[in-house]
Amino acid sequence: MLKLIIQITLLWMFMTSVQANARFETFLPEQETSVVVKVEYVADTQYQHTIESIRSDKHSDTWQPVLEDYANFGYQPHPYWYRFTISNPSDKPANHMLEISYPLLDEVDLYRIHSDGAMDHVKTGDRLPYSQRVVEHPHFLFPVALNPGERNEFYLRVMTKGSQLVPLNLWQPVPLFVQLSDEDQLHAVYFGIVIVIVFFNLLIFLALREKLYFYYSASALLFMLFFAIMRAKLFPYIFPNTPEFHHFLLLILPASCLLFAALFTREFLNIPHYSKKLAQLINLIIGIALTCLAGVFLLDNQTSLEFSVLCAIPGTFALLLMGPIIAILGNPMAWVYTIAWGIFMFGATVTAMSKHGFLPVSFMTEYGMQIGSALEVFILNAALAFRFYREHEEKLVAQEARLQAHSERRDAELRLLQASMTDPVTMMPNRTSFEQAIHEILEKREGRRIAVCAIEIVRFAEISKTLGHQNTDLLMCEVAKHFNRLVADVPGIIPLQGVTGQFNLCALESGAFGFMLDADIGEANTDRINEIIRALATPIDFKEMRIELQPVTGVAVCPEHGLNASTLLRHAQVAADTSEARERYLSYYRPEQDQYNARRLMMISELKDAINEGDLELYFQPKLDLKAQKITGVEALVRWHHSRYGLVRPDDFIAIAEQTGVIRSLTRWVIKEACAAQTKLAREGLDLVMAINLSAINLREPDLYDFLRNTLNDFHLDPARIYLELTETSMMQDPLEAIATLSRIRSLGVGIAIDDFGTGYSSLAYLQDMPANEIKIDKSLVAAMNIHDQGMAVLQKTIDMCHELSFRVVAEGVENGSMLNALIDLDCDLVQGYLLTPPLPYERLLDWLAEESVSSRFAS
Ligand code: C2E
Ligand code: CA
Ligand code: CA
């Protein structure tokens, strides 16, 4: 059975045209191109015969006729002897050609017995160098010249390790060579196609380094080589005198074909992706193919060839079957693979079947395998080309995506760069941009004096606490536009080029702006500049609120105050950050101002010690009750006696205390001192309500309530004698929490006052929920009534509204009698201010209170 399979396989590769003929005497009629030579045979199983022994009579009964058209005994280790007669019945000399069209016979010995009894011997076979052949052709060709009427007997000994297949034909020489050359041309076309495709795919492999293309090239090339070897087509061209080479190729090719077909299949169908089991199977096939290849070197030729062919047949069928399975599992390319492999296998099967008489011989059956192979190579190549195209497309798309990403990145970088030069809130040039602009202007100022101006919104922190970030940002946009318009009229203004256009102003940071001008032009037009500075200070309308920004401007001039951009800008900001700027809205830089900054820094470290070392003192400012016409309370205001700077006012250190956390101990110190003072005053017979200022940060101290309760207990104080003042702004930072905390504190019995009312932007809804008893109208609002009628109207409304919400109203910063009278008219409850007295130390307060006329002095 094994031998049969192997024989069939090798027969696939072989083609012959056959025609029936009778008897063992063959003659070639003139009108025929060829006839089959009918033969008798003897199987020399004992390896005993020589030409002499086979010719002797005693063996005549052992000759057997070959009933088929040609002798085919499959794999046989021993030699076969064939006997036939060729005659020339015509009256002309005949020049014929005897052909054995199976090229893979190892040893072929042809003996011709001439009519005169003489004997010729021609030795050939594919184990001999090609050059020894009588006619140089892969097939074994023997010229046979016969005289008219001559009749010669022939003996043929064939010994081969391959198939004992001996198709013998007698030919007219010309048609034979025409036939052989046609056949060669067909093969040349086939080989040509395959070679081109192999090179094409090799190039792709070299370009892409994708092994799929290499496997494909290799398997196409190996199949082609296999056909070529089977037909000895390479023999005449490659190492014609080294038949061993061709035999070696014959041994390794079946396994190599299987190996690369399997590798290609695995890669092309992407089998591991679709099925683990099939991946295992294909790896097994690859393993088997490799074993077969190893067998070539380990086993004897015959066994190794048999083993290879045995494995190759089921192997190739398994590869074919994987196509539809993988296709069903979802890889549409597998259909193409199935069709291509299917055509090849179909062609091979057709050829094999015709060889064994199951199909009538035709062009299709003769060339089925080559046609199948060529089509297979074509289709797979088309599939690879399609795949290549698709991958190329994908690469293009990927490249496009990369380019896109690249340009997006560049866009982003540009935007980032723009952003780095632009203030995010106002979209104006920012500090960096401004410094750069200053730098550029300074470079080409040529003796001109350049003023760098910084506008600071003094109340920015407060505003942002009250409005929240979003509203503050919106407000700042409005402010920026507004200021930009106003500053445009500054004589000598130097505009700036921003990313989004030209500006007169830049945004330095939140609530701070900058601009620059030609200082000489500016100084020649001070009136106009003052006008603009005043215009900047007018409150701005925002969301139906009128917001006072309190902008101040600091100025630093090049060359007097600095020669480079950053110094000038810093000095301008130092100048803006002074009390002078706050009072006059405008301040020129002076070197002393910097010391002020240094002082602030110093104070941060000293403040803590100041509390412990008794450098703080409480001053007290009285409150006059307008209805009762007497002093009913005092406000405790802290002072710091600094060893170097003298008396430091809270505006200069409360913010620092808040920022550094010292506010906690500071407030507690004040509460204790105030309680102590209250107790002392009570002992003096002065029943005064003590007002204590709390910071927003104190509200968040969880133990504040306990501290207050304990302190009140310690001093045996009536809690109603204590008021806690909290600014409107600090209450509104987190209104709900403030309500909760203050409600708890108020439950102790202490009073709560909303301080600096009118500077923040409280929501009335929350205000009415605040557990407060008193509202202190800020001195700016009180002062406004002196400036214009509108101020009076605002004050009137505020007091009325506070009364409606049943708050007691205190007016702060009352500095003169007309203010006092106006406030009495407006039905204000209490007043506080320099009109009465500035804050006083405890002893002086006692003196002030002791003056008999105090209350009557202010009674209208
Ligand atoms: P405040 O609570 O609004 O205190 C009133 C401030 O206005 C005091 O300034 C006072 O001297 C000043 N003042 C009083 N009458 C007049 C007047 O007729 N005209 C003008 N222009 N000003 C007047 P001071 O003492 O410098 O306090 C400033 C701020 O410091 C206080 O404002 C308060 O918010 C804070 N502060 C003072 N002491 C403490 C304290 O012990 N704890 C906390 N947390 N803050 C305090
Ligand atoms: Ca206060
Ligand atoms: Ca106040």
Which residues are CB-neighbours of 517 under 8 A, at least 6 positions away?
A: 450, 451, 453, 490, 491, 492, 493, 494
Neighbours of ion ligand 3 (CB under 5 A): 755-756, 812
CB proximity list for 148: less than 8 A, separation 6 or greater: 88, 90, 91, 92, 93, 94
Asked if omega into 559 is within 30° of 0 (cis), the reply is yes
Q: What is the pLDDT of residues 664-676, one digit of tens each?
A: 999 999 999 999 9
Q: How far is the CA of 831 from the centre of ligand 1 (A)?
A: 14
| Ligand 2: centre distance to CA 690 (Å) | 11
- In the prediction, which pLDDT does 788 show? 59
What mean pLDDT value characterizes the chain? 85
- The answer to whether residue 158 scores a pLDDT higher than 90 is yes
Question: Is residue 78 over pLDDT 70?
Answer: yes
The CA-CA-CA angle for residues 575, 581, 582, to 5°, reads 135
Neighbours of 692 (CB within 10 A): 23
Q: How confident is the model over 478-529, as pLDDT tens digits?
A: 999 999 999 999 999 999 887 778 899 999 888 899 999 999 999 999 899 9
Q: Lowest mean pLDDT: which of 13-27, 77-91, 536-550, 564-578?
A: 13-27
**Identity of the amino acid at 673:** E
Per DSSP (E only), the strands in 559-629 are 586-588, 616-625
Measured CA to CA in angstroms, residue 635 lies from 610, 677, 836 at distances of 21, 11, 13
Report, in this order, helix, strand and coil percent for the chain, each rounded to 5: 55, 20, 25
Say whether pLDDT at 859 is over 80.
no
- More confident of the two residues 386 and 781: 386
In this predicted structure, what is the pLDDT of residue 415? 63
Mention every residue, 6+ apart, whose C-beta is less than 8 A from residue 186: 367, 370
- Dist. CA 366 → ligand 1 center (Å): 116
How many other C-beta atoms can be found within 10 angstroms of the C-beta atom of residue 249? 18
349 pLDDT higher than 90: no
Residue 615, classified by CB atoms within 10 Å of its CB into exposed (0-12), middle (13-18) or buried (19+), is middle
Q: Is the pLDDT of residue 442 over 50?
A: yes
Percent of the chain with pLDDT over 90: 39
Q: What per-residue confidence (pLDDT) applies to 14?
A: 41
Strand-pair partners of 450: 518, 558
pLDDT for 544 equals 83
CB distance 25 to 13 below 8 Å:
no
User: To test the ligand 1 pocket, which listed residue (611, 620, 693) has its Cβ within 8 A of the most ligand atoms?
Assistant: 693
What's the residue count for the chain?
Answer: 860
Q: What is the pLDDT of residue 321?
A: 92
Burial classification of residue 554, based on how many CB atoms lie within 10 Å of its CB (0-12 exposed, 13-18 middle, 19 or more buried): buried
pLDDT of 735: 81
Closest CA to ligand 1's atom 4: 637
User: For residue 132, what pLDDT band results from cuts at 50, 70 and 90?
Assistant: confident
Q: Is the pLDDT of residue 860 over 60?
A: no
Ligand 1 binding pocket (C-beta < 6 A) is: 621, 637-638, 649-651, 654, 667, 670, 693-695, 725, 755-756, 779, 812-815, 833-834, 838-839
CA of 759 to the centre of ligand 2 (A): 13
- C-alpha to C-alpha distance for 589 and 541, rounded to whole angstroms: 31
Task: Give the strand pairing for 496-498 and 71-75.
Answer: unpaired
With contact defined as beta carbons under 8 Å apart, do 815 and 833 qualify? Answer: yes
**What mean pLDDT comes out for the span 400-419?**
74
